[in-house]
């Protein structure tokens, strides 16, 4: 995560491991309080997601300051062309979706 803070301090990082089986199903999520130095980058502790198929899950992270999201990231565990995104099979009819 990247910090644009001008002063060091503690702040929450939220992460969610999501899957494509149900179009963004939440598999795991956690909030971590971290100490952030001013204008710096931060590596959060390594996590093991080897129990999940890297072609069908992704991780989303957000960093908050004073209750406002100041940084968001989404990362795949594979090259985008190999990611098995599930797209809803729908079609537009008039002003609605079927």
Domains (ranges, CATH) in the chain?
9-97 (2.60.40)
Query: pLDDT tens-digit profile of 24-74?
Result: 678 999 998 888 777 777 777 888 999 999 999 999 988 887 788 878 888
Confidence tier at 5 by pLDDT (50, 70, 90): low
8 A C-beta contact, residue 12 and residue 44: no
Pair type for strands 25-36 and 57-65: unpaired
Residue 6, burial from CB neighbour count under 10 angstroms (0-12, 13-18, 19+): exposed
């Amino acid at each position: 995560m990247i910090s644009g803070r001008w002063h060091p301090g503690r702040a929450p990082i939220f992460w969610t491991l999501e899957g494509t089986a149900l179009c963004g199903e939440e598999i795991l999520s956690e909030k971590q309080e971290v100490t952030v130095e001013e204008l710096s980058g931060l590596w959060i502790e390594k996590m093991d997601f080897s129990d999940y198929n890297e072609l069908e899950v992704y991780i989303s992270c957000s960093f908050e300051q004073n209750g406002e999201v100041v940084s968001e990231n989404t990362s795949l565990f594979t090259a985008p062309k190999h990611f098995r995104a599930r797209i809803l099979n729908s079609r537009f009819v008039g002003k609605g979706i079927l």
